[in-house]
Amino acid sequence: MTAALAQARAALDTGDVPVGAVVVDEALEVIGVGRNVREADADPTGHAEVVALRAAAAARGEWRLDGCTLVVTLEPCTMCAGAAVLSRVDRVVFGAHDDKAGAVGSLWDVVRDRRLNHRPEVLAGVLAAESTALLETFFTGRRGAPR
């Protein structure tokens, strides 16, 4: 999670919401990193999880990420939870809960939907205080700022 938090902090340099993600393999080696790049790349799919999953798939040379863990500072949204399921990661680990858009238990629970053919294990709340503080500081600084 500390590597994901470092990625989240790096997102601040481009004005992106500070969310970071890493994908680790069975040996706990980082094979993909990502941070939010929606603002930097003008890409609506530029979420940290998608960026990290793409990098991990490229590193492996295949889209199936069996045996891997997606670690992210904020609970994945529906798009990112779906990407985790479709990439076949074994587990999703996240820090802060997202009561407004979370799709790993808060608002929806995409990854544990019994209708899907793959359901990763979930570990929530890892370094949640650090992840939450980073997001709160970012959004507090943005309030009142002209768009």
Catalytic residues: 49
Tokens of 95: 């820090």
| CB proximity list for 2: less than 8 A, separation 6 or greater | 127
The whole-angstrom distance between residue 60's C-alpha and the CA centroid of its chain comes to 19
8-state DSSP, 139 = H
Nearest to 94 by CA among 52, 62, 58: 52
> Per the annotation, does 80 bind a ligand?
yes
The dihedral formed by the CA atoms of 80, 83, 87 and 91, expressed in degrees to the nearest 10: 30
Q: Is 68 among the annotated ligand-binding positions?
A: no
Which residues are documented as binding site? Answer: 47, 77, 80
Which residues are documented as binding site for Zn(2+)? Answer: 47, 77, 80
